[in-house]
Chains A and B, each alone.
Chain A
Amino acid sequence: MARFELTISRHIARFFARRAKWGAEHYITATGAILVSTIIIMAIFAPWIAPYDPIRPVGDPLTPPCREYIFGTDSIGRDVFSRIVYGSRIALQIMILAAMMSLAVGLPLGLISGYVGGPLDRALSLIMDSLYAFPGLILAIAIAYALGPGVINISASIAVIYIPTYFRMIRAEVLSVRESLYVEAAKGLGADTKTILFKYVLPNVLPSVPVVFSLNAADAILTEAGLSFLGLGLPAPTPDWGFDLRSGYLYMPAGYWWIATFSGLMIVLSTLGFSLLGEGINEILNPRLER
Chain B
Amino acid sequence: MSAPLLDIRGLKVYYFARRGTVRAVDNVSLKLTKGESLGLVGESGCGKSTLGLAILRLVPEPGRIVAGSVIFDGLDLTKLSEEDMRRIRGSRIAMVFQDPMTSLNPLMKIGEQLTETLMVHGEADKEVAKEKAISILSDVGIGPERFNDYPHQLSGGMRQRVMIAMALILKPDLVIADEPTTALDVVTQAQIIDLMKDLKEKYKMSLIFISHDISLVSEVADRMAVMYAGQVVELGDVLSIFDEPLHPYTKALLEAIPNIELADQKLVYIPGSPPDLVSPPPGCRFHPRCPFATDKCKVEEPEMIEVRPGRWVKCFRYG
Contacts and interface: CB of A to CB of B under 8 A. Distances in A.
Interface of A: 23, 287, 290-291
B156 to A, nearest CB: 23
B28 to A, nearest CB: 22
Nearest to A22: B18
11 contacts: A23-B18, A287-B18, A290-B17, A290-B18, A290-B62, A291-B15, A291-B17, A291-B18, A291-B60, A291-B61, A291-B62
A290 B20 CA distance: 12
Interface in B302-317: none
A265 to B, nearest CB: 35
Contacts of B60: 291
* Centre residue among B15, B17, B18, B62 by max chain A CB count within 10 A: B18
A287 B18 CA distance: 10
Interface residues of B, number: 6
A291 B17 CA distance: 6
Contacts, number: 11
Contacts of B15: 291
Contacts of A290: 17-18, 62
Given A290-B18, A290-B62, A291-B62, 6 more contacts: A23-B18, A287-B18, A290-B17, A291-B15, A291-B17, A291-B18
* Centre residue among A23, A287, A290, A291 by max chain B CB count within 10 A: A291
Nearest to A25: B18
Contacts of A287: 18
Contacts of A291: 15, 17-18, 60-62
Contacts of B18: 23, 287, 290-291
Contacts of A23: 18
Interface string B47-89: 0000000000000111000000000000000000000000000
Contacts of B62: 290-291
Interface string B13-29: 00101100000000000
A290 B60 CA distance: 11
